[in-house]
């Protein structure tokens, strides 16, 4: 699926929530999961804002077969071991993610695993009408303290889950998309109520790197 740049990076994540209208969602509809854990120090709990997708000309170009690029997401507690694809901004200003719900998208404007600062942003489908549960179908049930590993071409970076928050769709905190700040990982999918072919919220899990 693709998202409109005018609606900001959240448009990418909002699109994760969409399935074909009229199809009953596989994910149990209802209220968004309760907040849990303590947000990393770099995260402000202030009112979320809508950041903009940077123009394609400002998104860093990836070198051929970069060794620091995420290639796999492993979440043992959820039995997840999924490939990761880079997600960039197209010429028409849309930010794409893998159409395959078994794959995860890494926003190339975010940090790389093991970087000294910044947020590594990974997003995936919760489910789709055609394929059923997505790779992050059970993300909202991931226990605090769980280990998450992001593998690159040359290393594996481990993280510990510290917090979970739910945000109304298209209203993710702006600091998720800033280049600086304390290094961390965020995993994003959809949750909350289901209406007219889309979920109402984004579920965000925060994790801190283990050195």
Please report whether residue 30 resides in a domain: yes
Q: Which domain holds residue 84?
A: 2-51+70-209
Please check the confidence at residue 33 and state whether its pLDDT lies above 90: no
Consecutive H or E run containing 103: none
- Position 202 in a domain: yes
CA distance 107 to 200: 22
Measured at the CA of 102, the angle between CA 183 and CA 3, to 5 degrees, comes to: 70
Q: φ and ψ at 201, to 5 degrees? A: -135, 165
Domain membership flag for residue 61: no
Q: Is 64 a residue whose pLDDT tops 50?
A: no
CATH number at residue 77: 2.40.260.10
The pLDDT value recorded for residue 25 is 42
Length of the chain: 211
**pLDDT, greater one: 197 or 14:** 197
Region 176-191: what's the mean pLDDT?
A: 90
Query: What Cα–Cα distance (Å) separates residue 179 from each residue in 108, 112, 117, 183?
Result: 11, 10, 7, 10
How far is it, in rounded angstroms, from Cα 69 to Cα 31?
Answer: 35
The residue among 97 and 24 whose pLDDT is bigger is 97
Strands 80-87 and 70-75: antiparallel
> Higher confidence at residue 157 or residue 132?
157
Distance, in Å, from the CA atom of 26 to the CA atom of 19, rounded to the nearest integer, reads 10
Do the domain assignments include residue 192?
A: yes
Q: What is the DSSP string of 141-179?
A: GPPTT-EEEEEESS-EEEEEEEEEEEEETT---GGGG-S
In-domain check, residue 56: no
Is residue 187 in a domain? yes
Q: How far apart are the first and last CA of the chain?
A: 35
Tell me the pLDDT band of 2, cut-offs 50, 70 and 90: very low
In this structure, is residue 63 part of a structural domain? no
- Residues 149 and 81: their CA atoms lie apart, in Å, by 9
**How many domains does one find in the chain?**
1
**Does 152 reside within a domain?**
yes
In a 13 Å sphere around the CA of 198, the CA atoms on its Cβ side amount to 13
- Higher local confidence (pLDDT), 26 or 100: 100
Mean pLDDT of all residues in 126-132 = 85
Q: How confident is the model at residue 188 (pLDDT cuts 50, 70, 90)?
A: very high
| Average pLDDT value for residue range 35-61 | 56
**Three-state SS for 11?**
helix
């Amino acid at each position: 699926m693709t998202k409109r740049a005018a609606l900001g990076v959240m448009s990418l994540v909002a699109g994760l929530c969409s399935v074909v209208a009229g199809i009953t969602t596989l994910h149990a509809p209802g209220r968004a999961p309760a907040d849990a854990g303590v947000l990393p120090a770099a995260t402000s709990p202030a009112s979320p804002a809508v950041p903009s997708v940077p123009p394609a000309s400002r998104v860093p170009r990836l070198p051929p077969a970069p060794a620091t690029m995420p290639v796999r997401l492993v979440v043992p507690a959820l039995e997840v071991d999924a490939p990761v694809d880079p997600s960039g901004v197209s010429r028409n200003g849309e930010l794409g993610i893998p159409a395959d719900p078994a794959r995860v998208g890494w926003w190339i404007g975010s940090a790389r695993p093991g970087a000294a600062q910044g947020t590594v942003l990974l997003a995936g489908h919760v489910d789709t009408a055609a394929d059923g549960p997505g790779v992050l179908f059970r993300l909202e049930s991931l226990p605090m303290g769980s280990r998450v590993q992001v593998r690159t071409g040359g290393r594996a970076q481990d993280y510990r889950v510290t917090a979970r928050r739910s945000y109304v769709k298209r209203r993710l905190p702006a600091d998720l998309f800033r280049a600086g700040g304390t290094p961390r990982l965020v995993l994003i999918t959809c949750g909350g109520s289901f209406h007219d072919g889309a979920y109402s919220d984004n579920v965000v899990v925060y994790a801190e790197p283990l050195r």
